[in-house]
Structure 1
Amino acid sequence: MATPRRQRFVHGQAAWMLTALVVLAVLDALSLSLFFVVSFVGFLVLVELTAPFQVTPRWRSRLKWLILAGLIVFVAIVIRRILSILPPGVL
């Protein structure tokens, strides 16, 4: 059974992602990579804002694997964007 703190964390992340989706759609800037980046930044902020001071629950210690996977995808998106900006023949 989920604890109240875990439920708040999940609800906060879902609210952030829904808000990001609506704002990106309103601004006509909705793309999968941009949505991922905004959602991932929100996830990192939420992890830091809800971090406990003394005891870390087991479910929070598993978040490091999600953060690692998100960082790998983030780096891939940044590299792809940089390569698309560079003129042909630079690399």
Structure 2
Amino acid sequence: MATRRRTQFVHATIAWQLAATLVLVGLDALTTELFFVVSLIGFLVVVELTAPLNVQPVWRRRLRWLILIGLVGFAYVVVQRILAILPPGVI
């Protein structure tokens, strides 16, 4: 049972990333940063939509670390974008 749900989770995450890649390529907007942000959003959506109501398996508790790493990466992307927008000499 847990293996089936884990497989469904992985398939949903891969499907989201593939769809995101195809959409970004179709819009001619594929960059590493944008793909990372869209993939992170999709990952968080899949985590929430597939969350069990009563019991949390051990493999789902480990997802917290991936979420934390993803949010740190997102913060890095945001800071880099803000620094690129600010005029030189502000910081």
Structure 2 segments unaligned to the other structure (5+ residues):
none
| Aligned amino acid, residue 80 of structure 1 | Q
* Partner in structure 2 of residue 49 of structure 1: 49
Q: Does residue 12 of the first structure (1) align with residue 12 of the second (2)? A: yes
Q: How many pairs are equivalent? A: 90
- For normalisation by structure 2, the TM-score amounts to 0.96
Question: After superposition, where does 1:9-88 map in structure 2 within 5 Å?
Answer: 9-88=9-88
**By how many angstroms is 1:90 displaced?**
1.1
1:5-49 Cα deviation digits (max 9, x unpaired): 100000000000000000000100000010000000000011011
CA distance in 1, matches of 2:82, 2:45: 25
Percentage of identical aligned residues: 62
CA distance in 2, matches of 1:12, 1:48: 12
Q: CA–CA distance in 1 between the matches of 2:46 and 2:24?
A: 19
Query: For 1:9 and 1:27, how far apart are their aligned partners in 2?
Result: 27
